[in-house]
Structure 1
Amino acid sequence: MIFTAQCRVLAVHLKPYFRMVFPEAPFVSGAGPDVLSVYKDCGPFKRWLGWLPEHPTIPVAEEVAAIEESIEKAMREDDAKGATGKWVGLLGFSQGAKIAGSLLLRKQIREEGGRDLEGQEWKFAVLMAGRAPLVSLERDQDRWGVVDENDVLTLPTIHVHGLKDPGLELHRDLLNIWCEKGTTTLVEWDGNHRIPIKAQDVQAVVKPLLNLAMELDILTGDLPV
Structure 2
Amino acid sequence: MTSAPVSRGHTPLPESQTLHLPRILCLHGGGVTGDVFRAQARSLIKYLPDFRLVFADGPFFCDPGPGIVPVYQDCGPFRRWLRWLPEHPEIDNEAATEEVMYAIETCKREDEGDGPWVGLMGFSQGAKLSSSLLYDQQIRVEKEGKADTDYKFAVLLAGRSPLVSFCEHSKSPACVDAGAISEGFKFDGESPHILKIPTIHVHGLADQGLHLHRKMMNQYHDPKSTTLIEWDGTHRVPIKKTDVEKITTEIYRVAREQGVKV
| Unaligned segments of structure 2, at least 5 residues | 1-34, 175-190
Q: Which residue pairs with 2:60 in the alignment?
A: 27
Q: Which residue pairs with 1:96 in the alignment?
A: 126
Q: Which residue pairs with 1:133 in the alignment?
A: 162
Q: Which residue pairs with 2:76 in the alignment?
A: 43
Deviation at 1:73, TM superposition (A): 1.1
Judge conservation of contact 1:100–1:127 (CA < 8 Å) in 2. yes
Deviation at 1:217, TM superposition (A): 1.3
The percentage of counterpart residues that share the same residue type is 47
TM normalised by structure 1 equals 0.90
1:210 aligns with 2:252: yes
Larger relative helix fraction:
1
- The alignment partner of 1:161 has SS state of strand
Query: Aligned match of 2:142 in 103, 109, 112?
Result: 112
Larger relative strand fraction:
2
CA RMSD after TM alignment: 1.2
Within 1, Cα distance between the matches of 2:65 and 2:164? Answer: 23
Query: C-alpha offsets along residues 42-93 of structure 1, whole Å, 9 cap, x if unaligned?
Result: 1101011011110011111111111111111111111xx2x12110111000
Q: Which residue pairs with 1:146 in the alignment?
A: 171
- The alignment partner of 1:21 has SS state of strand
Q: Which amino acid aligns with 1:66?
A: E
Q: How does 1:9-28 map onto structure 2 within 5 Å?
A: 9-14=43-48, 16-28=49-61
| Unaligned segments of structure 1, at least 5 residues | 221-225
Q: Which residue pairs with 2:91 in the alignment?
A: 58
Within 2, Cα distance between the matches of 1:35 and 1:115? Answer: 42
Q: Which residue pairs with 2:38 in the alignment?
A: 4
Judge conservation of contact 1:154–1:180 (CA < 8 Å) in 2. yes
Q: Which residue pairs with 2:200 in the alignment?
A: 158
1:122 aligns with 2:147: no
Q: How many residues align?
A: 211
Judge conservation of contact 1:210–1:219 (CA < 8 Å) in 2. no
- The alignment partner of 1:152 has SS state of coil
